Structure formats: structure tokens, C-alpha cells
Amino acid sequence: MKPLMDIPPRQIILDKLLAEATDSTGKPVSIHWSAQLGGNECFPLVLEVYLELVKKGWAHPDMPLNNSQKIIYAKYADGSIAGGIVYTYNESQRHGWIFLSFTSPEHRGKGINGLCHTFFENDVKRLGALSIASFVHIDNAPRLRSASKVGLQPEFYRTFKKLT
């Protein structure tokens, strides 16, 4: 996987093609970066996947997404979005934060998260990150597995009780 270009340093460019790659089945995908989530062609899939997480009880219904978040995503030649990562970089903490890793249901298990994660990690490292993290619900076994594949390990779990 040879990058076509580096992500531009701290300038607003709405969408850039980063690289051509292949998923784990050998099908070609293009890897893209966008400076903001809103207006991006991935937004409908982001909403679908987030709704799926809310319905399963794996995400809070208050959506933590906004236009200050960047997105790296994979797209097939037919225009279908395979998946991606919505993230931010906190300069004062030198920390990359994954708000949502998402994969279209028909493209799960094809290594899409790993492809996108490589470019996410490269971007936040370039910006100065010393660490990356994300919240993952304790029962979201598929996400815990995909996180583990890219080196993210559980650090702690929050306990919770709803008071009535």
C-alpha cells in the first residue's frame, strides 16, 4: 500500500485521496481523508452505524459527532463506502481520539478498519500524538476484536447503575 500523498499539514481541505489499497479479499479500495465529517459522503453510513450501536445499547443516544472531527475512510470503485474512522487530535494532550470506527455491514470482515486505522495513526503521529484511544462498550465484542487487531487494548471499564 503506497500512499499517493501525505495529509496536508493543518489546512482545511475537504477531501483528499490518500492511497489505493486492497481489502482482505483482494478487492481494490481507495483510502480518503476529509477535514470534516459534515457534508462528507460517509455521513449517512456513520449515522446508520451509530444508530445500530445505540439500538444494541453500546452507545449513548447523545451523538458526540461534530464538524471539528476528521474522517479517514475506504471507498470501492463503484462508489460504495466500506467504512472508516471519525477522529480528533487534542494538541494540548498530544492524543488522538477515535469517536467512531464504522464499517458497512456488507463489508465487515474484509480488513477495512485495519486499512483506515493505519492512516489514522499516521495522521495523528504526524500531528504529534503520543497516544490514541477510544471508548468501546464492554459487550461490543466485534469492536473489541478489531481494536485489538490494530494494537488497542482495554485499559479500564467504567461501572454504572441507573437510579430510578
Q: Is residue 2 part of a domain?
A: no
C-alpha cell at 80: 460504495
CB 133 within 8 A of CB 95: yes
The count of structural domains within the chain is 1
Tens digit of each residue's pLDDT (9 = 90 or more) over 44-67:
999 999 999 999 999 888 877 788
Report the b/e string of 48-86 with b at 16+ CB within 10 A.
ebbeebeeeebbeeeeebeeebbbbbbbeeeeebbbbbb
Q: Is residue 124 part of a domain?
A: yes
Among left, alpha and beta (phi > 0; psi -120 to 50; other), residue 79 is left
pLDDT band at 1 (very low <50, low <70, confident <90, very high): low
Please tell me the predicted confidence (pLDDT) of residue 40.
87
Q: Is residue 25 part of a domain?
A: yes
Query: By residue range, what is the domain housing residue 34?
Result: 16-149
Q: Is residue 8 part of a domain?
A: no
Tell me the C-alpha distance between 27 and 29, whole Å.
7
Q: Is residue 54 part of a domain?
A: yes
Instruction: Say which CATH number the domain at 41 has.
Output: 3.40.630.30
CB 94 within 8 A of CB 128: yes
